[in-house]
Structure 1
Amino acid sequence: MKKDIGFLIDMDGVIYRGGELIPGAKEFITKLLREDFPFLFLTNNSQRNCRDVVAKLSRMGIEVGEKHIFTCAIATARYLASQKPNGTAYVIGEGGLLTALHQNGYSIVDDEPDYVVIGEGRTIMLESVDKAINMVMRGSKLIATNLDPYCPSSNDSIRSGCGAFVSMIELATGKKAFSAGKPSPVMMRIAKAELETRSANTIMIGDTMETDILGGVQMGFKTVLTLTGSTKKEDLKAFAYRPDHIIQSINDLINPEIFDSIIDREMVLSHG
């Protein structure tokens, strides 16, 4: 029987770092599958499609289905389809974003698009940015899959993120991008609907206060911050909001006492 408590789980910094699983991640996901808890991996990476993400997790030893993956590209495509069905888009991004737009009835064009959509990309050219700037100046709406200024890299460094590219277009055009990715309520609301849970019974597990935790707090979800990623415990004093629960790593959720305290309606404020 499907549980009425569901999990939204960030990936990089929670489940893995670079190409390495964080200890306890496989056991935690196995527990959710075995006990029939609905869950989604929620990622602000628009590069890969769901099949690619499933394959990456499989190589790490976690076996899930495409139904367990929800990306900011999917959230963006569904949002655009709800605003202007069968619209057109000029895209700076990669396969995951292009696939999501096509699957939601969008055509990719090089002239007079309804929307200019910006996602992550490793080979973004200044020529494409200039083209996007001129389209926005002529009336196309500017959309970002997310506003993360940087992304973690596998060699423990960072690389420029979607937000960095979008800022160039915003500065040049004077237009602000609309983003459907975390912490936007757009992505959080669509993901919750996929789980078929109530807000109070939806648990967001993430490593970043500005996206995962903020998005969960704004939606009335229960929030769990893990300290294996972007946000450290000493950083919490800088925020006007805080998670319901703090754990050292996903491995803590293998502990039945901690897990039970999280899914209980009377949430324990903090462990760790």
Structure 2
Amino acid sequence: MDGVIYRGNELIPGSDTFLKKLKSLEIPYMFLTNNSQRTRRDVALKLTRMGIEAKPEEIFTCAMATARYLALKKPNGTAYVIGENGLTAALHQNGYTVVDDEPDFVVVGEGRTINFEMIEKAVRLVAKGASLIATNLDAVCPTEQGIRPGCGAIVAMIESATGKKAFSVGKPSPVMMRMARKELGLSTDETIMVGDTMYTDVLGAVQMGYRSVLVLSGHTEEKSISNYAYAPDLVASCLNEIPETFYLTHG
């Protein structure tokens, strides 16, 4: 959403107009985020305060995708968590217990309260046999002050220390992309992914067979598209510049 709907705490001009248009045309949509810090209710409130009508059920976070995936893989399991409330809440809602010792999984999200002691503990638990799960592999998180280390950077430390690779559930993972589509009740050819990042949003769409739109309102410049072996179906300066003909016809 950051770079597509808003930048920091400022709405990108036209975002609200575009979403109202989708509602008036009865086109379903969902907000996807690779940020596991907030619950879907928290995210909906942030959008509402910016002037975007948003309900919790219209939000889909990588924390939710991770928790649902783990609940399917091992129901009523246990997890040692590096992350914040959005991640622990999603795990609890899916029948998981957060523990400090002998967990089935070490689950890593992002956050500002992480310390080295937590990482040390995670390394020891993974070395003893716990499976390493990442909510996403984004190396950095954008903030109004600049970038800070993201989930991927934290996971890389644990991977390097243990020699074990994490399984990531967030964008561009097919796990999250498929779950979001099913939540909307859409078929593959009805689904369009809109994002501002080539290596998560567009890549995820390409892998799933969805159409994709790259908006240039975030941190990707049009000239950098040629650096990738795949491309979006459409490039637009912002949400409100996506032509109706693109989303009113199936791919």
- Shared fold per TM-score greater than 0.5: yes
Give me the whole-angstrom Cα distance separating, in 2, the residues matched to 1:82 and 1:219.
21
Give me the whole-angstrom Cα distance separating, in 2, the residues matched to 1:245 and 1:211.
16
Residues 204 and 212 in structure 1, CA contact (< 8 A), matched pair in contact too: yes
Give me the whole-angstrom Cα distance separating, in 2, the residues matched to 1:246 and 1:229.
12
Which of these residues, 72, 87, 94, is aligned with residue 84 of structure 2?
94
Question: 2:171 maps to what in 1?
Answer: 182
Give the residue type in structure 2 aligned to 1:133.
Answer: V
**Aligned counterparts, 1:100-179, within 5 A:** 100-155=90-145, 157-179=146-168
Residues 60 and 180 in structure 2, CA contact (< 8 A), matched pair in contact too: yes
Q: How far off its partner does 1:261 sit?
A: 2.6
| Cα RMSD (Å) | 0.9
Which of these residues, 24, 30, 49, is aligned with residue 59 of structure 1?
49
Which of these residues, 183, 190, 199, is aligned with residue 210 of structure 1?
199
Which of these residues, 29, 49, 55, is aligned with residue 19 of structure 2?
29
Identity level (%): 60
Residues 245 and 262 in structure 1, CA contact (< 8 A), matched pair in contact too: no
SS of match in other structure, 2:214: strand
| Structure 1: runs of 5 or more not aligned | 1-10, 267-272
How many residue pairs align between the two structures? 251
Give the residue type in structure 1 aligned to 2:2.
Answer: D
Task: Work out whether 1:262 is the aligned partner of 2:251.
Answer: no
Q: How far off its partner does 1:215 sit?
A: 0.2
Residues 138 and 153 in structure 2, CA contact (< 8 A), matched pair in contact too: yes
Give me the whole-angstrom Cα distance separating, in 1, the residues matched to 2:43 and 2:216.
23
Per-residue CA deviations over 1:200-224 (Å, capped at 9, x if unaligned) read: 1100000000000000010000100
Q: How far off its partner does 1:29 sit?
A: 1.2
Question: 2:227 maps to what in 1?
Answer: 238
Per-residue CA deviations over 1:144-198 (Å, capped at 9, x if unaligned) read: 000000011123x111100000000000000000000000000000001001111
Q: How far off its partner does 1:263 sit?
A: 3.1
| Structure 2: runs of 5 or more not aligned | none
Which of these residues, 249, 252, 256, is aligned with residue 241 of structure 2?
252
Give the residue type in structure 2 aligned to 1:18.
Answer: G
SS of match in other structure, 2:148: strand
SS of match in other structure, 2:54: coil
Give the residue type in structure 1 aligned to 2:132.
Answer: L
Which consecutive segments of 4 or more residues in structure 1 shift more than 3 A? none
Q: TM-score, normalised by structure 2?
A: 0.98
Give me the whole-angstrom Cα distance separating, in 1, the residues matched to 2:248 and 2:108.
37
Give me the whole-angstrom Cα distance separating, in 2, the residues matched to 1:215 and 1:66.
23
